Structure 1
Amino acid sequence: MKKHPLTVGVMAGLLSLAATLPLQAANDTSNFSTPRQQVLQQEDIESQIEHLLAQMSIHEKIGQLALRDWGTFGASDMKSIKQAVREGRVSGFLNVNFSAVDKNAFEELQRIAVEESPLGIPLLFGQDVIHGYETIFPIPLGQAASWNPELIRNGARIAAQEASADGIRWTFAPMIDISRDPRWGRIAETLGEDPLLTSILGVAMVEGFQTSNLADPTSLAACGKHFAGYGAAEGGRDYNSAYIPERLLRDIYLPPFKAGIDAGMQSIMSTYSTLNDVPGTGSPFLFKQILRDEWGFDGFVVSDWNAVMEMVPHGFARNARHAANLAANAGIDMEMHTDTYEKFLPQLMDEGKFSEAQLDTAVANILRVKLRLDLWNHPYPRAQSEAEREQIIRSAQFLDAAKEAAKETFVLLKNDKKVLPLKKGQTVAVIGPLAEAPHEQLGTWIYNGDKKHSRTLLPALRAMVGDEGEILYAAGLDYSRDMSTRGFKAAVKVARKADVILYVGGEESILSGEGHSRGDIRLPGAQAELVAELAKTGKPLAMVLMAGRPLQLDETLEQADAVMMAWHPGTMAGPALADVLYGETSPSGRLPLTWPVGAGQIPIYYNHLATGRPATDDNYTRIDRIGQEVFQHQPGNSSNLLDYGHKPLFPFGYGLTYSDFAYADLELSSTTLDVNGQLTVSATITNTGKRTATETAQLYVRDLVGSVSRPVRELKGFERITLAPGESQRVQFTLAASDLAFHNAQMEQVIEPGEFRVWVAPDAQSGLESGFTLR
């Protein structure tokens, strides 16, 4: 790739624009080497937008609303699409680097835009850079299990550095949908079920992508998605209906978006789903009332892929023309993939159904972000040669960061008999369909990830033990959905030769992500049967699960002595797992969502309401203990499931380490809190075990009585601390009265006086408890 000199036409256009700036700025060239730089560094971006709008034709303005999918074009389309760029009828592209049609497409398309289009407005290249570009980090749900904002910020920063090397300056992340349903395939892309945790981690991702300076050529404009309520789709079925009362929407589903916008997030993507019977892409309530009027968002809104046209099968739009009208008037600035704006906005404007003032607003929102990204100064791929690109992509530093990130995401769910960590002198039988699966460990949304760069588990384990032990291997199953038992005999034979069995299973990457929901979330294929056969050997059995969601474990949980959730850990899965499995690092991950006993418990989440008849451990009878022909009320009447009970398999925030921690001496700075004040909550945490490990202390609160029913617990803070054996540390949280605000039935955000309970805890189901009064 090479740099292109400015053409006479581009220079003339920029000089014309500079002439409209305030005289002092236009004449002061002490800080600028060219008029082009002068324009881009002028503080008053709005004046630049105004000048560009004044020179644009209606068709050029509508062109700025067009985001085209390069991946849908073939060789026969090249002439027409390049001509569209030349005429200013395209604002940007997604998926450019997926096509083999033109390996220099980034550079060539941008050259046409800046040198041959009427005003030289650069293109914006976007892509799904979700959990890495070519250096793949753990899936977002896995990253959320770290409860570590810095880890997530660093991962996004690395992804931005790699992606910008190829010319990408916009990512369709973070996905900050709250989801309480692990059947939903896209839960893998979320940051969990809690609005506070998702807000904190989502902001960290925005900061990593965008940096503190959008004009930095390594920055990517972030895009919060999907606005709003997508994670509440009925039955976990993707693209489906979501019904969310407005109070719940404002208290649970919207806070992460508001936090991202407050952090400077530059774009928002609409949801595919309907929200209370209105497709998100056609909702003025979401995009005009909340996003613009209430929150003052000044970036741009993009539809999801094909979402404008999908309002037709939703039964909300009659046809493509009607869909364009609905989306444009709802506040969708940029249309992804489809071309209804290009085809129908001129007619709609002639008929008075959409105004030029509305069009100018949409164009201004898009130009504002392009100007903030300084695309006029940095339009081309950052890496100007293949050698320069190779120095950036998958550098040793980036791979090390991906490994360290993965290590912090693993959640140890069970460790009976202290089977983990493994010992180097042991003979270990590695069995399972995902033990040596370089593609599957990468997870969903890895358009640029390549399995040939994956570091897998088997060689990493062998490198770890060297001459101090033996690693045996038999897959048992060819892939996670394999129903054949033909490999069982060989697997059991290998298991009998070992001191300990390490089973590596779960879900292939294709079983989670967009459109990949599951009604049955048990281990797919014949995995449960294989684990049962391995358990019959009587050998200690440790299980590593790779998956994009919690799985229903049934008897498998009892058969395994140890269980570790590894999610889909990314490029460096093997070395990261080897380090943790052999105790070089103690696992520190904590669940960012509630793990159900089975699919019949879904939706399940920790911050639920108590109900009028809350279940306890002793106020109902489980199904297998109910007598025959007993009186109707004999099993009890409480909010539970007779077969699953009332508790999850593992609670939100849960996770073990190779050590143990004790919580003691809970103190509140005051037992009363003024509505304009704050108090501190503190406790002492001690590592009572024999290994250095990290604990995540969590602060929870319950409002006992409100004008609307309040959750049994709400996360209000957390702190990660690393302690050596025998070491203690005092953790302290500041709780402000404003942290207790919620929306009442009138949609007013209120702070109501009353009695509160407070916990400092290792998870959402336990901990030290006290109370205070808000007055």
Structure 2
Amino acid sequence: MSETRGVTRAPAQRGDRITAPDGTVFRDLNGNGTMEPYEDPRLPVEERVEDLLRRLSVPEKAGLMFQSIIGVPASGSLADEDPATARGTAADLVGSRLMNHFNVHLLPEPRLTARWVNELQHLAVEATPHGIPVTLSTDPRHAWAENQGASFRADHFSAWPEALGLAALRDEDVVREFARTAREEYLAVGLRAALHPTVDLATEPRWARQYGTFGQDPDLAGRLAVAHLDGFEGERLGPGSVACTAKHFPGGGPQKDGEDAHFPYGREQVYPGGMFERHLEPFRRVLERGVSAIMPYYGMPVGLTLHGRPVEEVGFGFNRQVVTGLLREELGFDGVVCTDWGLVTESRAGGRTLPARAWGVEHLDVAERVLKILDAGCDQLGGEQCPEVVVALVERGLVPESRLDVSVRRLLRVKFELGLFDDPFVDEDAAGARVGTPGAVAAGRRAQAESVTVLHREPGVLPLAPGTPVHAEGLEAGALEAAGLRSATAEQAEVAVVRLQAPWEPRDTYMLEAQFHAGSLEFDDGTVRRVADLAAELPVVVTVNLDRPAVLTPLLPHSAALVGVYGTSDAALLDVLTGRVRARGRLPFQLPRSDAAAAASRPDVPGDSPEAIFEAGDGLVDEG
């Protein structure tokens, strides 16, 4: 243990860089004018962790064990927070509740985001006893799906295909390139933790979260997840890394009836095909490679046995057999386990509510749910902001302080490894120049284009020659002209290009529900009839955004070309249709022939739909 070292002068302000008598420059986080071991940048991480751990009060330890959503004002200034819309002001969450892990949603432009991050980091020093820096996390935000329960559109960041599109490319080098690019953009604005990759398998055709996965094949998902971690975390976690959370252990794909476990009607995970181990395979690859954190899913396993013992039918975040028995003891994981969001308390937003995702333990009160999560072996409660409950459990003698130490030690280790204690700030002036650079945007557009999957193509239809008159539906105005084509009416055109979204059933009872594409995979009669009517007059190129495996059966007979995409701009799509870029995507999952066929498939079995119209791996790829 290093000795405390005095300094020659008192710092002007807490958190300032000052110089010790031996010349070591450090940040005086607790404002006492001396360099404590946890402030000493030369010491090993473990030594700094242990020094800080012994200094922390129970409320400080409890604050570390929560990660909640925090709002970012459009101005980038903490002074402009709106308490009426935020779940809590920064002063309350950081200064009073002593929390320092936060998940951000909507962000302003990069310079303003960086400004807010720096203000928040200054607050963390000024308003807390030991100046513990904030770790900011984000769901995926480099693609197209806007779903505030799972992902965000790229906006200021470079735009790439969804994870399914990366899976369609089957190229680990492209995934590493994406991850390195995204890491640099995250670092530029101060985001140091990624709530991804999603390592679940897309085995239930109706499940709403497939777009964020690497498809149905466990080997491919494992290889691409490892490449993702290579790009974000690097060989080992350090100041240039973004710490990742692989989710949703032990595999969130086999949802009963394809419903999502965010909602009460989707709480059950089932394994009629006996393929629990198949869903675990990509997680084994990730754990062997190394990852900072793991997130269990909401789902409640039904009828599952492990090593001959029935698994308790409670959500995975409450499940000691899965978190401690399987993940910790059998698979040897000693990193952070953070629950999914909102296992303990009800959520509210946009005039809607969502009950606590306390599946299987709905009868427990808040304190009992927290106790069960801690007993399961989780370190951090996602989406919650009630550290006082943990404090009360310690005061009542239900949780020993030593149990908190086990989790806090893991959480602090990541902060120290990321270098946050030594420099949590970002360059506000440089942020805009480092996010969405021309090179990153071009690389993302190329990946979008190459991920396009051509499922059917009649001779002579593609590529579209320059100047071809095209009737377009579902494309932005001006996209054709920018691609060197001519916009025309259906009567004047030589070919039609129709962009469609995969079908879903609109729902809006619960908070977030409207953003999850669930239910039927079949197109409505009006859409099919419109494509058929066009096809009676001219060749139709039908493009479907496959965030789920749409039923393409009625469209195929009317399509001169049938194309699947997974988050692709009009410009990137037209790069392929005009032959500028060669499509090389292959389906990352099977496409069922009908809703009935999808319902007949077993949720845990990849490619289990009978007489599928297209199989995983299908795609017309031109060589050369």
Interval containing the TM-score (normalised by the shorter chain): 0.7 to 0.9
Q: Does 1:540 align with 2:549?
A: no
Question: Which residue pairs with 1:690 in the alignment?
Answer: none
Measure, in 2, the Cα distance between the counterparts of 1:395 and 1:591.
30
Look up the match of 2:318: 282
Q: 1:243 to 1:546 in 2, by over 3 A?
A: closer
Match of 1:576, SS? helix
Do residues 270 (structure 1) and 281 (structure 2) align?
no
The verdict on how the C-alpha distance between 1:654 and 1:295 changes in structure 2, with shifts beyond 3 A counting, is same
Deviation at 1:302, TM superposition (A): 1.2
Check 1:311–1:498 CA distance in 2 against 1; reply closer, same or farther (3 A cut): closer
Compared CA separation, residues 246 and 294, structure 1 to 2 (3 A): farther
1:120 counterpart residue number: 131
Q: Deviations over 1:584-637 (max 9, x none)?
A: 222110111111111222265899699xxxxxxxxxxxxxxxxxxxxxxxxxxx
Structure 2 Cα separation of the partners of residues 78 and 325 of structure 1: 23
2:428 paired with 1:384: yes
Structure possessing the higher relative contact order (Cα contacts under 8 Å, 6 or more residues apart) = 2
Please give the alpha-carbon distance, in whole angstroms, between the structure 2 residues aligned to 1:283 and 1:246: 22
Q: Does 1:129 align with 2:152?
A: no
**Distance (Å, rounded) in 1 between the aligned partners of 2:418 and 2:428:** 19
Paired residue for 2:305?
Answer: none
The Cα shift of 1:246 comes to 11
Tell me the distance in 2 between the aligned counterparts of 1:308 and 1:555. Answer: 44
Task: Determine helix, strand or coil for the equivalent of 1:110.
Answer: helix
Residue 421 (1) aligns with residue 474 (2):
no
Question: Which residue is 2:491 aligned to?
Answer: 496
Which residue among 343, 346, 354 is the counterpart of 2:391? Answer: 346
Residue matched to 2:475: 435
Q: What amino acid maps onto 1:519 in structure 2?
A: G
2:579 pairs with 1:583 = yes
1:131 alignment partner, SS class: coil
CA distance, structure 1, for counterparts of residue 365 and residue 18 of structure 2: 39
Counterpart residue type for residue 207 of structure 1: D
* Counterpart for residue 231 of structure 1: 253
Measured in 2, the distance between the counterparts of 1:6 and 1:143 equals 50
Letter in 2 for 1:51: D
Which residue number in structure 2 is paired with residue 627 of structure 1?
none
- Does residue 464 (structure 1) correspond to residue 483 (structure 2)? The answer is yes
TM-score w.r.t. the length of structure 1 is: 0.66
CA contact (8 A) 2:204 2:603 kept: no
Cα offsets for 1:667-687 (capped at 9, x unmatched): xxxxxxxxxxxxxxxxxxxxx
Any residues of structure 2 matched to 1:55-134 within 5 Å, and which? Answer: 55-71=55-71, 74-75=82-83, 81-86=90-95, 89-95=98-104, 98=107, 104-132=115-143, 133=154, 134=157
SS at match of 1:602: helix
CA contact (8 A) 1:229 1:244 kept: no
Quote the residue 2:443 is aligned against: 401
- For residue 120 of structure 2, what is the amino acid of its counterpart? L
TM-aligned CA distance change 1:371 to 1:525, over 3 Å = farther
Moved more, 146-155 or 127-136: 127-136
Q: Letter of the aligned partner of 1:471 in structure 2?
A: S
CA displacement at 1:267 relative to structure 2: 1.1
Is this contact kept in 2: 1:70–1:95, CA < 8 A?
A: yes
Tell me the CA shift for residue 168 of structure 1.
0.9
What code does the residue aligned with 1:71 have? Answer: G
Alpha-carbon distance between aligned partners in 2 of 1:10 and 1:320, rounded to the nearest angstrom:
36
Q: Which residue of 2 aligns with 1:600?
A: 596
Structure 1 counterpart SS, 2:478: helix
Q: Percent identity?
A: 26
SS at match of 1:376: coil
- Relative distance call for 1:244 and 1:510 in structure 2 (3 A) is closer
Contact 2:166 2:175 in 1 (8 A): yes
Distance 1:78 1:593, change over 3 A: closer
Contact 2:298 2:359 in 1 (8 A): no
Query: Of residues 214, 221, 224 in structure 2, which corresponds to 1:201?
Result: 224
1:332 to 350, 374, 378: 378
- Distance in 1, matches of 2:417 and 2:128, equals 21
Note the C-alpha offset of 1:114.
2.7
Per-residue deviation at 1:358? 1.2
Distance 1:425 1:244 in 2: 53
Q: 2:163 aligns with which of 140, 157, 174?
A: 140
The alpha carbon displacement at 1:236 in A equals 0.9
Q: Deviations over 1:293-343 (max 9, x none)?
A: 122223211121112332546444411111111111112211122234x23
Q: Give the Cα separation in 1 of the matches to 2:219 and 2:336.
A: 25
Which structure 2 residues correspond to residues 113-192 of structure 1 after superposition, within 5 A? 113-132=124-143, 133=154, 134-192=157-215
- Whole-Å separation in 2 of the counterparts to 1:289 and 1:401: 42
Deviation of 1:244 after TM superposition, in Å, equals 3.1
**Separation of aligned partners in 1, 2:535 and 2:287:** 51
Q: Is the 8 A contact 2:202 2:216 kept in 1?
A: yes
Say yes or no: does 1:368 pair with 2:413.
Answer: yes
Structure 1 CA distance, aligned partners of 2:606 and 2:483? 48
Q: Which amino acid aligns with 1:91?
A: N
Q: Paired residue for 2:243, among 221, 234, 251?
A: 221
* Residues 1:317 and 1:281: Cα distance change in structure 2 (over 3 Å): farther
Tell me which residue corresponds to 1:765: none
1:322 aligns with 2:368: yes
Q: Per-residue CA shift, 1:131-150, capped at 9, x if unaligned?
A: 35522211111221111111
Counterpart amino acid of 2:461?
V
How far residue 374 of structure 1 moved from its aligned partner, in angstroms, is 0.8
Aligned counterparts of 1:136 and 1:510: Cα–Cα separation in 2: 27
> How many matched pairs?
552
Aligned residue identity for 1:234: K
Distance change (3 Å), C-alpha of 1:78 and 1:530: closer
Counterpart for residue 552 of structure 2:
553
3-state SS in 2 of match to 1:254: helix
State the partner residue of 2:612. Answer: 648
Say if 1:182 and 1:308 are closer, same or farther in 2 by CA, change over 3 A: same
Partner of 2:150: none
Secondary structure in 2 aligned to 1:542?
A: strand
Larger radius of gyration: 1
The CA distance in 1 between the partners of 2:40 and 2:231, in whole Å, is 23
Q: Supply the distance in 2 between the matched residues of 1:534 and 1:311 (Cα, whole angstroms).
A: 46
* Alpha-carbon contact 1:154-1:208 (below 8 Å) kept: yes
Within the alignment, does 1:505 sit opposite 2:503 as a pair?
no
Q: Does 1:411 align with 2:457?
A: no
Say which SS state the counterpart of residue 483 (structure 2) adopts: helix
Q: CA deviation at 1:390?
A: 2.0
Aligned residue identity for 1:295: L
Letter paired with 2:235: S
CA distance in 1, matches of 2:17, 2:459: 76
- CA-based RMSD of the aligned residues comes to 3.3
Q: Match of 1:564, SS?
A: strand
8 Å Cα contact 1:70-1:99 kept in structure 2 = no
In structure 2, relative to structure 1, the CA distance for the partners of 1:536 and 1:145 (3 Å cut) is: same
| d(CA) in 1 for partners of 2:223, 2:201 | 13
Shift of 1:511: 7.3
In the TM superposition, what is the alpha-carbon distance from 1:105 to its structure 2 partner? 3.1
Structure-2 residue corresponding to 1:732: none
- Aligned-partner SS, 1:178: coil
Seen in structure 2, the aligned counterparts of structure 1 residues 84 and 185 have a Cα distance that, compared at 3 Å, is closer
Structure 1 residues 365 and 419: CA distance shift in structure 2, 3 A: same
Counterpart Cα distance in 2 of 1:540 and 1:171: 44
Structure 2 unaligned spans of 5+: 1-9, 29-34, 73-80, 144-153, 303-312, 346-355
